[in-house]
């Protein structure tokens, strides 16, 4: 080869390689893969044969055959090697084939009625001629989520005895028996037997007779005397109040209300005067602790010390023996980007912090020696099975119950030997849709253990109750047993533009308080912009642990609930943009607690020098030693005390 030829050869090779063009693969003739039928609606259970044809740039069909058939998401449909698909779940799915390295797809809508079952809570109902009765039913998805926006039709088997009008009210018109059922989208509820008896000959009265109550107080009215088994339709007239089907009354506004009972063709009424609750008190600032340009997270107050974790790698320890002048005694730095949780054993000897974002990606939890509370030292860590990150931890005896970010499961860590902690149990909600279904989640966010019962705030899966040593289901820390679950429909509650779920949990008396965390999908916890938040606290009655039911809620308008602590009939919480809040949770709880005037105090924890200036972002609260400690992401620790009445 002469020099000229050598030069051009080299020039060619150099040119090819100089711009990083690795030897290109053989050019494929496949420009497009067409899968037919290209758009289809099918029903769950149906089989459909698809075909795929590869075409070149000119639109000419090529002889190449599919090297692979696929569906996405996987769990809605499956295929054989020849493109015959079987559809097993409702939803939208793309089915397709790869030819010559090029995929092509068709879109399939798989239909299934959204209502999987309809729950009714009665099997029979006694009525008298002339009675009206509003039956209640809840349609649910196959997962058990309530569908409040789905229409229900009620059908009476013998309308000559009891007929149902166009809005679902049952009218008892003649003695006899009729079967009542709710129907929606082809799904029927269990039947309710209506026993209609002749109209009552005598009238009746209402008890108790109440002179005066406060807003938020719950009164249970009932029919007096011998007629107590009557099916009663309760009505109220007055300013703003709630009356449940079983006669529970609670008012939101002061005023006089007339409560009427309709039953057996008769009516009785009574009046109740409601006065303002009058419990508002001042929250007085005692002291503050703050570090500039830091976002704070959880706190734990113990003895004369306050532990403050951060959305960073530091844990601050303050001496609060003089609460008006907290003094920083220690800054403990660990390998983490978020120390989301911190707590200390009741004897003060061991602390636990959770880690997320560690540089070695071994997050887990760290055990601290807190015998010298002013200067905690790292004792050990547990990362082996929870490297993906731990959000929350709850110490219960010699076990710490933790949330595993990676798998959305609860892990129980035995730290009897704190130098060698070990995992002894794990538990997670089971749902076939959790396996990669787009939009589905399994995310355990918070937990608390009280009297051997674990309460889990399980994000979209709501509240989960486990026996971890109580005995009700034979559970133990090493072998948690499912007790019950209470689900909320977060899509209905907050709509699609918010990331929402059960976030915080706290058991007190017969109630479990669940705080929702609801953040805008566009927000960023690391930016200095305001983080929009919403969310309510749901009050769940767990007097029957196996049948939890929602009875009340607490929602500060246009603010986002976060962590909750309840003690001595007062609920303390950080309400994100709503600042520090204290709520009266004495007595029975029913209805909208905010509107009932049950708020005792609130405080705006914004600060000019805060991470986000003049914006409260209150994380949580802890009452301790007669004071209340509120921790704010933006502005640090606020030490407060309840002052005099504002009413």
**H or E segment and range at residue 598:** none
Q: Which is nearer to another protein, 102 or 550 (CB)?
A: 102
Helices marked H in 480-560? 490-494
Minimum CB–partner distance for residue 84 and another protein (Å): 17
Q: Which is nearer to another protein, 333 or 377 (CB)?
A: 333
H helix and E strand count, the chain: 2, 58
Phi, psi (rounded to 5 degrees) for 105: -135, 165
Distances from the Cα of 415 to the Cα of 320, 353, 362, 380, angstroms: 29, 14, 19, 10
Q: Which is nearer to another protein, 337 or 481 (CB)?
A: 337
Q: Which is nearer to another protein, 231 or 392 (CB)?
A: 392
Q: Which is nearer to another protein, 239 or 387 (CB)?
A: 387
Minimum CB–partner distance for residue 37 and another protein (Å): 17
Phi, psi (rounded to 5 degrees) for 41: -120, 130
Q: Which is nearer to another protein, 81 or 568 (CB)?
A: 81
- Decide: residue 372, CB within 10 A, 0-12 exposed, 13-18 middle, 19+ buried: exposed
Scored b (16 or more CB within 10 A) or e, 630-647 reads bbbbbbbbbbbebeeeee
Minimum CB–partner distance for residue 18 and another protein (Å): 6
Minimum CB–partner distance for residue 81 and another protein (Å): 10
Minimum CB–partner distance for residue 25 and another protein (Å): 4
Phi, psi (rounded to 5 degrees) for 411: -120, 140
Tokens describing residue 49: 């044969």
Tokens describing residue 495: 């709509």
Minimum CB–partner distance for residue 354 and another protein (Å): 12
Closest residue by Cα to residue 504 from 446, 556, 554, 449: 446
For 338, left (φ over 0), alpha (ψ -120 to 50), or beta? beta
Minimum CB–partner distance for residue 242 and another protein (Å): 33
Phi, psi (rounded to 5 degrees) for 361: 60, 20
Phi, psi (rounded to 5 degrees) for 396: -140, 105
Minimum CB–partner distance for residue 22 and another protein (Å): 4
Kindly report the number of other CB atoms within 10 A of residue 458's CB atom: 29
Q: Which is nearer to another protein, 51 or 67 (CB)?
A: 67
Beta strand 255-263 pairing with 233-237: antiparallel
Minimum CB–partner distance for residue 112 and another protein (Å): 21
Alpha carbon distance 547, 576 (integer Å): 31
Q: Which is nearer to another protein, 127 or 413 (CB)?
A: 413
Minimum CB–partner distance for residue 361 and another protein (Å): 6
Minimum CB–partner distance for residue 316 and another protein (Å): 14
CA atoms lying within 13 Å on the CB side of residue 375: 0
Closest residue by Cα to residue 397 from 303, 280, 476, 307: 476
Give the position of tokens 């355990």.
Answer: 444
Q: Which is nearer to another protein, 79 or 470 (CB)?
A: 79
Distances from the Cα of 11 to the Cα of 6, 20, 567, angstroms: 8, 15, 82
Q: Which is nearer to another protein, 318 or 459 (CB)?
A: 459
Q: Which is nearer to another protein, 262 or 633 (CB)?
A: 633
Q: Which is nearer to another protein, 26 or 58 (CB)?
A: 26
Minimum CB–partner distance for residue 357 and another protein (Å): 4
Distances from the Cα of 40 to the Cα of 46, 48, 50, 87, 107, angstroms: 12, 10, 11, 12, 7
- Decide: residue 316, CB within 10 A, 0-12 exposed, 13-18 middle, 19+ buried: buried
Minimum CB–partner distance for residue 491 and another protein (Å): 15
- Chain centroid offset of residue 131 CA: 39
Q: Which is nearer to another protein, 266 or 411 (CB)?
A: 411
């Amino acid at each position: 080869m002469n020099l000229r030829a050598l030069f051009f050869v080299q020039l060619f090779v150099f040119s090819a390689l100089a711009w990083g063009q690795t030897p290109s693969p053989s050019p494929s003739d496949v420009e497009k893969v067409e899968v037919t039928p290209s758009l289809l609606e099918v029903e769950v259970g149906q089989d459909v044969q698809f075909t795929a044809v590869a075409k070149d740039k000119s639109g000419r069909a090529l002889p190449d055959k599919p090297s692979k058939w696929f569906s996405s998401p996987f769990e809605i449909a499956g295929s054989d090697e020849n493109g015959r698909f079987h559809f097993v779940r409702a939803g939208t799915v793309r089915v397709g084939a790869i030819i010559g390295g090029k995929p092509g797809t068709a879109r399939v809508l798989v239909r299934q009625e959204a209502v999987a079952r309809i729950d009714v809570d009665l099997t029979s109902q006694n009525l008298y001629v002339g009675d009206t009765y509003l039956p209640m039913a809840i349609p649910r998805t196959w997962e058990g989520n309530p569908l409040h926006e789905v229409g229900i039709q009620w059908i009476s088997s013998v309308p000559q005895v009891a007929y149902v009008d166009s809005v679902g009210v049952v009218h008892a018109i003649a003695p006899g028996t009729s079967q009542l059922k709710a129907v929606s989208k082809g799904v029927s509820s269990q039947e309710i037997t209506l026993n209609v008896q002749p109209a009552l000959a005598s009238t009746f009265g209402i008890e108790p007779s109440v002179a005066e109550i406060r807003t938020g107080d719950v009164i249970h009215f009932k029919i007096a005397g011998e007629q107590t088994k009557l099916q009663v339709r309760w009505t109220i007239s007055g300013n703003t109040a709630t009356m449940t089907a079983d006669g529970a009354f609670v008012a939101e506004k002061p005023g006089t209300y007339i409560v009427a009972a309709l039953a057996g063709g008769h009516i009785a009424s009574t009046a109740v005067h409601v006065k303002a609750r009058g419990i508002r008190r001042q929250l007085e600032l005692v002291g503050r602790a703050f570090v500039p340009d830091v976002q704070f997270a959880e706190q734990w107050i113990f003895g004369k010390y306050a532990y403050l974790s951060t959305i960073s790698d530091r844990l601050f320890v303050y001496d609060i023996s003089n609460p008006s002048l907290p003094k920083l005694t220690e800054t403990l730095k660990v390998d983490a980007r978020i120390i989301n949780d911190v707590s200390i054993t009741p004897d003060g000897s061991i602390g636990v912090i959770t880690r997320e974002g560690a540089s070695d990606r071994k997050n887990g939890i760290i055990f601290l020696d807190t015998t010298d509370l002013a200067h905690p030292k790292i004792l050990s860590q547990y990362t082996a099975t929870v490297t993906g990150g731990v959000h929350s931890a709850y110490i219960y005896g010699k076990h710490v119950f933790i949330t595993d970010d990676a798998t959305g499961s609860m892990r129980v860590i035995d730290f009897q030997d704190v130098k060698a902690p070990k995992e002894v149990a794990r538990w997670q909600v089971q749902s076939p849709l959790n396996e990669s279904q787009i939009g589905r989640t399994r995310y355990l966010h918070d937990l608390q253990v009280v009297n051997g019962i674990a309460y889990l705030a399980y994000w979209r899966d709501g509240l989960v109750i486990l026996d971890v040593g109580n005995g009700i289901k034979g559970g133990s820390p090493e072998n948690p047993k499912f007790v019950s679950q209470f689900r909320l429909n977060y899509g209905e509650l907050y709509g699609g533009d918010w990331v929402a779920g059960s976030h915080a949990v706290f058991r007190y008396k017969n109630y479990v308080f669940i705080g929702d965390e609801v953040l805008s999908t566009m927000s960023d916890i690391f930016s200095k912009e305001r983080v929009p938040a919403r969310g309510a606290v749901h009050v769940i009655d767990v007097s029957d642990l196996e049948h939890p039911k929602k009875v009340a809620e607490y929602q500060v308008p246009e603010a986002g609930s976060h962590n909750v602590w309840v003690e001595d009939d007062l609920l303390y919480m950080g309400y994100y943009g709503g600042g520090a809040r204290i709520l009266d949770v004495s007595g029975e709880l029913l209805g909208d607690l905010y509107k009932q005037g049950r708020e005792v105090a609130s405080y705006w924890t914004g600060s000019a020098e805060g991470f986000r200036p003049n914006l409260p972002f209150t994380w949580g609260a802890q009452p301790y030693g007669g004071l209340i400690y509120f921790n704010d992401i933006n502005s640090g620790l606020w030490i407060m005390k309840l002052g005099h009445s504002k009413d």
